[in-house]
Chains A and B, each alone.
Chain A
Amino acid sequence: MHMRTIIRVVFLGGWLLVVAGCKKFLEHPPDNRAKLNSPAKVAQLLGTAYPQANYMAFCESISDNAADKGFGGLTNTNIQPYKFQDVSENQQDSPEFYWNACYAAIAAANQALEACNKAPDPENYRAQKGEALVCRAYAHFMLVTLFSKVYDPATADQDPGIPYVTEPETVVFKNYERKTVAYVYEMIEKDLTEGLPLIDDKSYSVPGYHFTKAAANAFAARFYLFKREYTKVIDHANAVFPGNNVVPSLRPWNTTYLTITYNELFARYAKDTEPANLLLVETSSLWARNYFTVRYGMDATVRSQILTANVTGGTWAFVNQLYTAGTNNYLIPKINEYFVRSSVNADIGYPYVMVPLFTAEEVLFNRAEAKAHLDDVDGAMDDLNLYASTRIRQYNRTNHAVTAQKARNFYRTSDTKAAVIETILDFKRAEFVQEGMRWFDLLRYNRPVVHTTWEGETFTLEPNDLRRVFQIPESARLSGIELNPR
């Protein structure tokens, strides 16, 4: 070998060594950031794959559960939905905040899925993959429900959906497509049906805050209810109640809840030891301090409408825990604030609300409704009676049983099915008052909402009104997303 060649080889080799050394040297992470290199870590990431924002404020305010008290706290997350305007606020409790939180949850799920798929031992990541898929499906489902037209088999393949994101974003601005509601539902179903069987309850350290089998089935029940596939609703609902033993899972409203103080009720309503709470999520939200002080909320009229007369003929146990702060500021102590101080002794910080995303009660209602749609009125009645037995004060089956007759009489109709469905919707309205759930039923049944104000204005949200769909954040245009028509 020539000397020159040797020098070249040595030089090149040395250079390569330096470059390789540099690469390794520079690959050191700059700080204590986490790496997704084990199933346990992927599981930890999935702890944030749930939308950490609260939909209660704008859903409750847009619904018929709100009325003008003439005074009270003024926040745009309350005023604008009440007046069926686009919400300009983008902080806690706003639709935009919720939009961002859902996509943040989706990003976490996608990151977890990428780690599951890239792992050398994917078989050890089954449970994580399952949770990630269901999380991704759930966040998209909530987005499509609030920001797209409600699922209608007739128009779903034309109605614009919301971007269904399946991979992590790696550039500052990426373009997305809305596609159609049908597409989004299809994707949700795909993720849900693929993920649900993989879920393993044993993989969770705090199951109350994760998609357990029960919670995932509860989600499936809600999803198919929206999709109007009622048999599947019943199947998934049944999976929530093993041995069809429903009552122990329901909140003990007409027993324990009657005797505890309001502070105690606040403390336990959204606690994971309550069997009714199938899935909880922590959200940064001011709703706990606002829900009874805002101007547009539950006043005396709404209270009477929702919490007095009902099909059973009995008295709601809710009334025993109905309070008012000042006059006309009615509240049931179920939305509690957890205040996270900004430093150990600070007086300021972020208020949090633990939101029960799925409860045993909702599953029971969904099953009842599905049964009603499938013309199983008796089945529906059975479910409603299970519910009523835990809600009516001094419940007595003979006096308080829900029957088709009672329902027809109560709603002055001869249509049993309609009467049963009305019963379900009203029970639900009472059960979830101030929790924003009413809006989803108003959406599904395309019911009009009329809001009046003390100034004498009347706002009407007609069926098929374009404003039934919350507006997509303006900044979504940056990703090539068209806003909802107005």
Chain B
Amino acid sequence: MRKSVSSARIYTTGRIMKLSILVISIFLSTVASLKASGVNAQNALDKRISLELNNVLLRDALNKIGDLADISFVYSSSKALDKNRVSVHAHNEKVKDLLEKLLTPHSLSYTVIDNRIVIRSAPDKGMKPVTPPGESSDMPPPIDVRGVITSDKGQPLPGVSVLVKGTTRGVATNAEGFFELKGVSNDAVLVITARGYKSQEVALSNYKGDVLRIELIAEASNLEEVVVTGFQNIDRNKFAGAAVRLKADDIKLDGVSDVSRMLEGRAAGVSVQNVSGTFGAAPKIRIRGATSINGDNKPLWVVDGVVLEDIVNISNDQLSSGDPTTLLGSAVAGLNANDIESYQILKDAAATALYGARAMNGVVVITTKKGKAGRTIINYTGNYSTQLKPVYSDFNIMNSAQQMSVLAELERKGILRPDILNGPDNGVYGKMYELMNADDNGNFPLENTQEAKAAFLRRYALANTDWFDILFRNNFMQEHSLSISSGTDRSQSYFSTSYFGDNGWTIADKINRYTLNYRNNYKFSDKLSGGFAAVGSVRQQRAPGALARNSNPVEGKYDRDFDINPFSFALNTSRTLTVYDEQGNLEYFRRNYAPFNIISELSNNYIDLNVIDLRLQGDLAYKIRPDLRYEFVGALRYVKSTREHQITEHANMANAYRAASTSVIRRNNKFLYRDPDDPEAEPVVALPYGGFYNRTEDMLVNFDFRNSITYTKKIADKHEVNVLAGQQVKYTDRQNFSNTGYGYQYENGGVPFIDYRILKQTIENNFPYYGMSKDYDRFVAFYGSGSYTYDGKYNITGTVRYDGSNRLGESNKARWLPTWSVAGSWNVEQEGFMRDVIWVDYLTVRATYGLTASMGPATNSTIVLRNVNTNRPYFTEVESVIQLANLENSELTWEKLYTTNVGLDASLFNRRMNVSVDVYQRTSFDLISIIKTSGIGGEAYKAANYADMESKGIEILVGGEIFRKKDWSWRTNLTFGYNTTLITNVKNIPNIFSLVVAEGGNKEGYPVRSLFSIDFKGLDPFTGAPLFVNQEGKTSGAVYLQDEETSHLVHEGPVDPTITGGFSNTFRYKNLSLNVFFTYQAGNKIRLNPAFSTSYSDLDAMPKEFYDRWVLQGDQNLTNVPSILDIMEQARQGGAYPYNNYNYSTERVAKGDFVRLKAVSVTYTAGNNLLKLTGLNSLSIGLAATNMWLVYADKRLKGQDPEFFNSGGVAQPVQKQLTLSLKVGL
């Protein structure tokens, strides 16, 4: 057993080394080749050639020279070349000299850039062109072709690929848009392709030897030409659905490693809330808000036509829990942002129709980059970032002197008495009382006098420990990405690899991620084409050791044992505690009856996460007839992740299991073993040596195959028909394994020492020390879609899909679900009456209606039986029994949604301004929720398809180029999304706690995930304790949080923002561009972090609100901040927790509205001159600052991030970040 573990670990380390060597070697070799080519061009000038020419055009003469010397010319001024004729008589002459001789009389000169020789006008010397007499020579085939490629606006286009059709020959245009191909047969056809432009074919049969002028027509860049649904690519003007296309280059935030976070504020109606900024944790993404009450609300991610399945399904609530599982939450954490070409966000039923029964929450289709025919292009992108340490001035926390004065009050109130030594946790006062006890020799290290005590406490009062400084650092994050694209018109390949490394914003974090992407496309024949992609990523991450949190509705809080999250530790730990003692050694205070020091703990209690993600994908297309096409897409994905929670023998968590120094501690320490068969025995230590090695593994195997046939026909130039029919099979197996390894001795050669009692304790508590579960997902679908376009004006599309799944259980009836949609659009600008309206370039009116669905959280179309162990106190009585988890529900079905969408797209004023507006109304029905039944069937609370909700919203996108001048321009883009939801029917019976927590709860008549508050009714005039309206409607300090009477709660608002959007401005001046990007949200409510508790210890940090706390009778008229209870009053609270209730009261709510300066970036893109000098294809340097400024937020937040849920564990807020990015193209 031990052997297999250790060899597995060696294997992983070996892998890392190999991959990073690979990255470096590729980088080195490209640099080398760059230099070599530079040298070659220079050498060519020194070549000696012989040449005889009479009365030829200067251009032809130069070309001849070029042929002989094997160099290519680039002409920046071509007038003189085509006007002047020359004669050349050279014998073994240096090219250099010959050129000078030829060019000087015509006021031309040359320079060498890269491997090309550039001819341009020399300073005018007043010479006139000479036209010497002579005769023309024969031009034997093959011919040489020269041309200039420009945009439709006349600007030269560099880097355009020019290929000779049917061959592998091709060139790319230079910075002037010029290209030249030598020795091409005169019946050849050139294929010209450029990103962002329609490709063109040019036949050379009429080529006269002059310079070809080819104008490329831009693909409409604002109104997307093509909608990529993942199933089909559809012309935008034939598409009626609500969809947004975002180019990766336009929205990329340099230095942000998770692509899902880049969507924030970019597309109207897509809300992204960074509930945790930790790498791998998913943001809360909603496309048009929630559609389901209890089911998933996250969108479906699709990469190159294949659905990206989650490794583990993170529920709505789990997302913000900070549990270690959330590190696997982001489906796209393994994607290299530089590989992405574009995002297509599909929003309404018509757009998502082909995803049928999984598309209720919208779809994000990612298209990755492909290889391009033409010159090999190598791109390097490097991002170097640092994140700023948080500082206390941003928060609202007492310094050590202020804290010490509160501690003095606690002492006066009898809370910090010597008996805290019997408690599990203590800080400065605990240490003081410890020292006041006699040591082994009977001496008292600290005298019990006021002076001695004051002197002792003085050190801590002055400590003012800066936890942020100790636990955080201005880290260094680096991301290197290298891609190589090459190909011919028959095969193209794209290779990329990247490394992302972060040495950690906190001392407990570290991330390495490697990605690899290799993609080849082949054109086997005119009919058959195909491609293959291998995509992989490896991720290694370290996170602070964290356990899953538990909801504690008893007291009204979330419990997480042994939480050492550095961010919440810094916010919640008293600044009187010191990290080092006077001798400079680590100083320990007591937590869980055992010594605790955060620095020591973070190095002794950590999680190592490893993820390997591999995807193989192949596609094949066969043109059966010109109008009939067969396509196949198949993918295999394998993901394995392991989480090793390593808790060494020095960790506080391990030592807590051994804390048994006094009989009081033995009695109170819950980590000691109590023998149920010997009730009178004293609890004993069950973990005498070692720590823990807890391992969790998640595995995913996923196959996805799809066959489809497309029929496209244009009849009589007016009727266009497109029919698609297909079939899909999907197979996903997931496995989860977890194991608690007791007594692992990290320092003793990894030998586990297992006391049988620790296992006995676990078993008697009915917790298996290991577990494994499997989950199977089988999916079959048939789909069809037909669309008809008349005269380019009117489009109508209908889609049906029939899905089958095993997720509902083994019932034939429930398994299948048909979904459908209809859509129509009208391209108004095509109409005759619009011809004269010249300021409208494009105007489309769209309308769609359809049914989509999603799998609800119930699987009992047949009975669900689960094996459990009985909850009986004695091991001999425990048996494995089968529990009836859910009765059969023969009426079970999918959750469904009708969407109506009406939209308008327009492009105005010569494409200066784009407007897109969508209005929608959605009706969700058959939603799964809990309903109370008579109980007679045996299940009192059933999950059934009965709940309904409605949502509606509007989305607006306005964008345009406000200024468009040669040297400068200003482009702006504003997105706005408004969405409200309303639960119209749900009969669940939430308890108070589930409605007042930060994540909100669901109740009929309110929006999905609404935040409720306990109604605060002032402070008790005698104790300063808070009073509320309790579950019975009476004013009281005690509110029973598990009560189901929730009518006395105050509704605050939804947790999800109703308004979201972004505002982006790009200013360009020559080669410099500045982007300023704001995001905003509004309409939601936020629960303030819990700051109050019934009792406080000398470990807690307190917010400055405590200044205003109730101190004397009468203060209740001045303040709403409750008092600190003395020990008597605490005892009187009985089973009530008024201070925890206060955390959930109307006093502790803030508005969620904010405007954030999300990113500011300055980019310098190298101009032609610099490129020529450096020999690079492209070069840009940028500096970006992200999350720097929260422009507006509710004052009540006092430093709390309005997006972030500070839930401890592995959660971290999104950080302020500075990034330097470098992009180099070769």
Chain A positions near chain B (C-beta within 8 angstroms): 22-23, 25-36, 41, 44-48, 91, 96, 99-100, 103-108, 110-111, 163, 165, 168-174, 176, 205-206, 208-209, 261, 263-264, 266-267, 271-272, 280, 282, 336, 338, 340-348, 350, 352, 354, 473, 475-479, 481
Contacts and interface: CB of A to CB of B under 8 A. Distances in A.
A171 B889 contact: yes
A170 B886 CA distance: 10
A242 B946 CA distance: 55
Given A209-B872, A336-B873, A344-B762, A100 B891 contact: no
Contact of A473 (B778, B877, B884, B934): B934
Contacts of A341: 765, 767
Nearest to A172: B944
A335 to B, nearest CB: 12
Contacts of A478: 932-934
A111 B777 CA distance: 26
Nearest to B766: A340
Given A44-B880, A106-B938, A168-B863, A348 B809 contact: no
B884 A48 contact: yes
A30 B680 contact: no
A106 to B, nearest CB: 6
B561 interface: yes
B817 to A, nearest CB: 12
A27 B762 contact: no
A103 B938 contact: yes
Contacts of B877: 206, 208-209, 271-272, 280
A33 B866 contact: yes
A481 B935 CA distance: 11
Best-surrounded residue of B729, B766, B808, B877 (most CB of chain A within 10 A): B877
B923 interface: no
Contacts, number: 222
Interface in B1037-1061: 1042
A48 B882 contact: yes
Interface in B728-775: 729, 731, 740, 762, 765-767, 773-775
A163 to B, nearest CB: 5
A104 B937 CA distance: 7
Given A209-B872, A209-B877, A32 B773 contact: yes
Given A30-B806, A100-B935, A271 B859 contact: no
A481 B936 contact: yes
B674 to A, nearest CB: 11
B867 A100 contact: no
Q: Determine chain B's interface SS by DSSP, over half rule.
A: loop
B867 to A, nearest CB: 5
Contacts of B873: 271, 336, 338, 352, 354
Nearest to A265: B679
21 contacts: A28-B806, A31-B773, A31-B859, A33-B864, A41-B882, A44-B879, A46-B881, A47-B880, A103-B940, A104-B939, A106-B938, A107-B884, A174-B936, A208-B877, A261-B679, A341-B767, A343-B767, A345-B670, A348-B554, A475-B933, A479-B934
A170 B889 contact: yes
Given A45-B881, A205-B879, A266-B679, A30 B809 contact: yes
Contacts of B677: 267
B865 A30 contact: no
A168 B550 contact: no
Contacts of A208: 877
Contacts of B935: 96, 99-100, 103-104, 473, 475-476
Contact of A345 (B671, B882, B936): B671
B723 to A, nearest CB: 19
Given A28-B778, A30-B775, A36-B865, A169 B938 contact: yes
Highest count of chain B CB atoms <10 Å: which of A345, A347, A348, A354: A345
Contact of B882 (A44, A209, A475): A44
User: Which of B548, B550, B729, B815 is the most central at the interface, judged by chain A CB atoms within 10 Å of its CB?
Assistant: B550
B776 A26 contact: no
Nearest to B989: A90
A342 B871 CA distance: 12
Nearest to B657: A345
A31 B776 contact: yes
Nearest to B942: A172
Given A45-B865, A282-B871, A347 B670 contact: yes
Contacts of A31: 773-776, 859
A227 B765 CA distance: 42
Contacts of A343: 547-548, 550, 767
A51 to B, nearest CB: 11
A319 B57 CA distance: 128
A336 B877 CA distance: 15
Contacts of B859: 30-31
Contact of B809 (A22, A23, A29, A267): A29
A421 B815 CA distance: 62
Contacts of B729: 25
Interface in B463-494: none
A31 B1161 CA distance: 49
A41 B942 CA distance: 24
Given A172-B933, A354-B872, A481-B936, A26 B780 contact: yes
B937 A165 contact: yes
B165 to A, nearest CB: 39
B807 interface: yes
B804 interface: yes
A151 B762 CA distance: 47
Interface in B886-939: 887-891, 931-939
Contacts of A479: 933-934, 936
A350 B550 CA distance: 13
B872 A45 contact: no
B698 to A, nearest CB: 15
B810 interface: yes
Chain A CB within 10 A, most for which of B807, B809, B871: B871
Contacts of B555: 348
B524 interface: no
A289 B117 CA distance: 94
Given A103-B936, A172-B891, A340-B765, A27 B884 contact: no
Nearest to A164: B936
B863 A111 contact: yes
B1134 to A, nearest CB: 9
B805 interface: yes
Contact of A111 (B552, B561, B880, B884): B884
B884 A104 contact: yes
B937 A30 contact: no
B737 to A, nearest CB: 12
Contact of B680 (A22, A47, A172, A261): A261
B676 interface: yes
B680 A263 contact: yes
B841 interface: no
Contacts of A27: 806, 810
A52 to B, nearest CB: 9
A393 to B, nearest CB: 23
B30 interface: no
B874 interface: yes
A29 B933 contact: no
B883 interface: yes
Contacts of B946: 172
A208 B873 CA distance: 13
A32 B774 contact: yes
B870 interface: yes
A165 B810 CA distance: 24
